[in-house]
């Protein structure tokens, strides 16, 4: 893919035909994908407010970005985004590994179990968040009722920082664990059985086999899921927005305790009409995603180095 092989595979075509085939994609992508990116960069350099006609032409340089650095709500949203992002990613991927391992046993009704774990993934963020918000209800929610059986007092999940993060991460984890488990499963099935046999001959327990045969061989797939999940979970929007039970859901809780960067962007852009500032937050989020993906990849390389000893 990176380097053209000596004999380019494929058939000869007219000079224009191949370009005509890829044109529809690139035209739509250019107008609605690439151009908006460039345009966000431009908008972020203006003091554009939708409620102030003419402000779209006021170039303010990097003022919006300078303002961001002193905006406590931005830093708060950044903290929430990273915190909820980690809570929604790490346990989920570990769980997915476990579920994949279970699905890899030769069991009857394999298709049933696989379809079962995939089901949450076809539901919508909006529907699922609404259902879970009811389950997390303070007075009549099922989760508090179950916890009450163990003597836990009713928790107001929206009120606290930790409790709201856990609740939102639970919603994300419920929707995506099965999907990632199936991706792991596909790779697990490509692992030759002989590797397990020889590990067993060396006296490795099942648990040891899992960590020293399965996990190392799944590394490329695990990295892939880490990247995809990190990108997705840093952009959480529907879950925190609809989980809020207040009249102003874009605040992300009474103390902004679960306002993510995506929600904050929406709040500034949609509720406060600040197009320029909202665009600057968008770019900041993009930067955060790039940094976190890099960090996650570096970290998972390190971990592997340790476990190889």
Which 7-46 positions form the footprint of another protein (CB under 8 A)?
Answer: 8-14, 17-19, 21-22, 24-26, 28-29, 32-37, 39-40, 43
Sign of CA dihedral 299, 304, 307, 309: negative
Q: Which of residues 201-220 bind another protein (CB under 8 A)?
A: none
Asked if 210 contacts 98 with a C-beta cutoff of 8 angstroms, the reply is no
Total residues contacting another protein by CB under 8 A comes to: 100
In angstroms, the CA 76 to CA 69 distance is 11
DSSP 28-53: HHIIIIIHHHHHHHHHTTB--BTTST
**Binding test (CB under 8 A) with another protein, winner from 77, 97, 199, 279:** 279
**Binding test (CB under 8 A) with another protein, winner from 47, 240, 253, 278:** 278
**Binding test (CB under 8 A) with another protein, winner from 286, 297, 300, 304:** 286
Q: Which of residues 47-86 bind another protein (CB under 8 A)?
A: none
**Binding test (CB under 8 A) with another protein, winner from 133, 214, 257, 259:** 133
Residue 59: what are its φ and ψ, rounded to 5°?
-75, 125
Asked if 226 contacts 296 with a C-beta cutoff of 8 angstroms, the reply is yes
Residue nearer to another protein on the CB measure, 83 or 276: 276
Taking the complex as a whole, how short is the minimal distance between the CB of residue 21 and another protein, in angstroms? 4
DSSP 167-224: HHHHHHHHHHHHHHHHHHHHHHTTS-HHHHHHHHHTT--HHHHIIIIIHHHTHHHHHH
In angstroms, the CA 114 to CA 104 distance is 10
Taking the complex as a whole, how short is the minimal distance between the CB of residue 78 and another protein, in angstroms? 14
**Binding test (CB under 8 A) with another protein, winner from 66, 94, 118, 291:** 118
**Binding test (CB under 8 A) with another protein, winner from 52, 124, 254, 307:** 124
Q: Please name the helix (run of DSSP H) or strand (run of DSSP E) that holds residue 92, with its range, or none.
A: helix 72-103
Q: Is residue 297 a contact point for another protein (CB under 8 A)?
A: no
- Tell me the sheet residues that pair with 49: 274
User: What mask, x for binding another protein by CB under 8 A, covers residues 234 to 273?
Assistant: -x-xx--xx----x-x------------x--xx--xx---
Q: Is residue 182 a contact point for another protein (CB under 8 A)?
A: yes
In angstroms, the CA 260 to CA 85 distance is 9
Q: Which of residues 152-181 bind another protein (CB under 8 A)?
A: 174, 178-179
Residue nearer to another protein on the CB measure, 123 or 254: 123
């Amino acid at each position: 893919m990176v380097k053209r092989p000596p004999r380019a595979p494929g058939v000869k075509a007219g000079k224009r035909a191949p370009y005509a085939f890829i044109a529809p994609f690139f035209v739509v992508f250019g107008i609605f994908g690439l151009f908006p990116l460039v345009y966000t960069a431009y908008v972020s350099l203006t003091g554009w407010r939708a409620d102030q006609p003419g402000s779209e032409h006021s170039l303010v340089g990097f003022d919006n970005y300078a303002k961001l650095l002193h905006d406590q709500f931005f830093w708060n949203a950044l903290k929430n985004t990273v915190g909820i992002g980690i809570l929604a990613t790490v346990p989920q991927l570990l769980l997915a590994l476990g579920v994949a391992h279970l699905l890899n046993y030769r069991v009857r009704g394999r298709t049933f179990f696989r379809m079962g774990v995939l089901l949450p993934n076809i539901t919508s963020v909006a529907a699922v968040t609404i259902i879970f918000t009811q389950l997390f209800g303070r007075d009549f929610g099922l989760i508090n009722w179950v916890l009450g059986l163990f003597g836990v007092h009713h928790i107001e999940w929206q009120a606290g920082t930790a409790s709201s993060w856990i609740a939102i991460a639970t919603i994300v984890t419920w929707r995506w664990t099965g999907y990632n488990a199936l991706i792991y499963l596909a790779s697990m099935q490509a692992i030759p059985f002989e590797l397990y046999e020889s590990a067993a001959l060396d006296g490795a327990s099942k648990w040891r086999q899992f960590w020293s045969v399965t996990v190392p061989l799944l590394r490329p797939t695990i990295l892939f899921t880490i990247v995809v999940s990190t990108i997705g979970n840093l952009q959480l929007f529907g879950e925190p927005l609809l989980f809020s039970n207040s009249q102003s859901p874009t605040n992300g809780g009474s103390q902004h305790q679960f306002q993510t960067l995506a929600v904050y962007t929406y709040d500034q852009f949609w509720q406060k009409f600040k197009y320029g500032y909202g665009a600057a937050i968008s770019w900041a989020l993009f930067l955060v995603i790039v940094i976190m993906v890099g960090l996650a990849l570096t970290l998972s390389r390190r971990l592997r180095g340790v476990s190889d000893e």
